[in-house]
Structure 1
Amino acid sequence: MNREKSLLGNYTVFDLVIIAIISSLGIATKPIIVPLVHILTGPLFIPGGAIAGGFYMLWIVLGIGYIKKIGTGTLIGVVQSILVIASGAMGTHGIMSIISYTCPGIVADLVFLVCRDKKYTVMHYIFGCMAANITGTAISNLLFFRLPSTVLLLLFSSAALSGAIGGLIASNIVKSLESMKLNI
């Protein structure tokens, strides 16, 4: 197959392995993070998904920042949705997982497209993770919850704060990985 015409032709094998690992880590950490967040948010009657989301959306922006290729966030979201559907892990979204996992990756990709030279700053990570988490929260609300606008505003604020923290963490991880010069 002609490399220019293939869907994944832009990525090296190393890139695809990193994307698979990051996608898997995102899915693997979700069952650990969500119950811990629910311990804190449950008694306050705050839906914990928006707050937990920043800590597992960080994997999407981490992948985008490390791979530095257009469409990486979308690809991570697609791989995560396939993993969730195939394994039956985490949640009752079913086939809607394709939407609820892919859209945050698309939105994070759009945030990172602002920087053409691929020299991402901490703000790219913060806004990318915030946008991904707010998108995930909005999609979950649209598909499943349909909360009133006042509650939704509070939820989006929580999602933005959590996303900002996740973006900071992702930025620091990428800086550490880049300082180790792991690219093959």
Structure 2
Amino acid sequence: MSKYYFETRDLVIIAIISALGGVSSTYIGYLGNLVNRFLGVPFGAGQFLAGLHIFWITLGYGLTKKRGTGVMIGVLKALVELFSGGKLGVFILVLSGTQGFLIDLVFLLLRKRNFISYIMAGGIATGANVLIFQMFFAPYNAMTLFFLISCIAFFSGIIFAGYFSFSVLEILEGKEKKYGLKKAITIGFATLLLFGGIYYYTEIYTTGEKISVSGNCENPYDFTYEDLKSFEKTVKTEMIGEYKYEEEKEYEGIPLLDILEKSIPKGDKIEVIGNDGYSVIFDLEKLNDDIILTHERRLIAKGFDGSYWVQDVVEIKIE
């Protein structure tokens, strides 16, 4: 018997699972944004896929079957996200570490590693995602919406972090029937995610930091933040959405009017398009110097509803 709690095999599994989980986080966020876009809402509905973030933690726990695996994968996965440019910054360590701790705690309390323990661990850890955000950022100022989003996240955890990870483990351990509907569905879904990930990282993620200015203008062009950094200014504002709120703070960015001026616009409307396809339209005459684009490619639309604050801007189209 090894004198170390985690053997070499366990550490290798934890490292691989953490790396895969960290790298896939951006892709999962992209899928969540697609769900929002499909349903016609700026945020929230994408929590249906939040369980995919926790899938890696429950899968890793199932492969090692050792307490503490959840916390280790949660923290290491967060470090991968942090150093690969994750938008949550160091907060991701708190979020993912807590989720990993909850996975360990549920398995400890339920003792048995069976189907019920997996779906409970997945559901609770994923549902906690919304609660943690509410505690630190208070993004939902309507309790009904907070409860609804929490339920969506919980059931996402049951499906993706619980049922899906349990099914994958049964296949990996040879417990699943050689031929069966459950096995076919699990492999089919995993294959779909794999090819979706390949498409995302080859066709979408690799677009880089350039933003395109196009449409009804004399001088369409592409630019990076550094190209127009000399126009940078600071804006202090709060984000007020119908159901979402961000406290007042200072943002640094390039005024949208300065970006448009270089293109010599001929139209009277501006469409700002995010990497996930979400877009908003402004009347050109209503724009002001306090609408800026940050280094993270987020549109800060002071004076406009929170739904106009577009993430990951990739194109500005003049109509």
Q: How would you bin the TM-score normalised by the shorter chain? A: 0.7 to 0.9
Q: What does residue range 13-24 of structure 1 map to in structure 2 within 5 Å?
A: 13-24=8-19
| Gapped regions of structure 2 (runs ≥ 5) | 176-319
AA paired with 1:168?
Answer: Y
Equivalent residue for 1:150, pick from 126, 144, 159 = 144
Q: Is 1:61 aligned to residue 58 of structure 2?
A: yes
Give me the identity figure in percent.
31
Kindly provide the CA deviation profile for residues 26-78 of structure 1, in whole angstroms up to 9, marking residues without a partner as x: 12222222212212223134424522211121111111111110111011011
- Contact 1:50–1:133 (8 Å) recurs in 2: no
Q: What does residue range 67-146 of structure 1 map to in structure 2 within 5 Å?
A: 67-88=64-85, 90-91=86-87, 93-116=88-111, 119-146=112-139
User: Matches of 1:48 and 1:105 in 2, distance apart?
Assistant: 23
User: Matches of 1:115 and 1:153 in 2, distance apart?
Assistant: 25
User: Matches of 2:29 and 2:81 in 1, distance apart?
Assistant: 15
User: Matches of 1:23 and 1:171 in 2, distance apart?
Assistant: 18
Classify the secondary structure of the residue corresponding to 1:10. coil
- Contact 1:20–1:76 (8 Å) recurs in 2: yes
| Gapped regions of structure 1 (runs ≥ 5) | none
- Contact 2:102–2:125 (8 Å) recurs in 1: yes
- Contact 1:81–1:102 (8 Å) recurs in 2: yes
Q: Which moved more, 1:101-110 or 1:132-141?
A: 132-141
Greater Rg over alpha carbons, structure: 2
- Contact 1:66–1:174 (8 Å) recurs in 2: yes
- Contact 1:34–1:48 (8 Å) recurs in 2: no
Kindly provide the CA deviation profile for residues 108-144 of structure 1, in whole angstroms up to 9, marking residues without a partner as x: 111111343xx51111111111111111221123223
**What is residue 164 of structure 1 aligned with on the other side?**
158
User: Matches of 1:24 and 1:168 in 2, distance apart?
Assistant: 22
Normalising by structure 1, we get a TM-score of 0.84
Which consecutive segments of 4 or more residues in structure 1 shift more than 4 A? none
Aligned residues between the structures? 170
AA paired with 2:52?
Answer: F
Q: Which moved more, 1:32-41 or 1:97-106?
A: 32-41
In terms of fraction of residues, the more helix-rich structure is 1
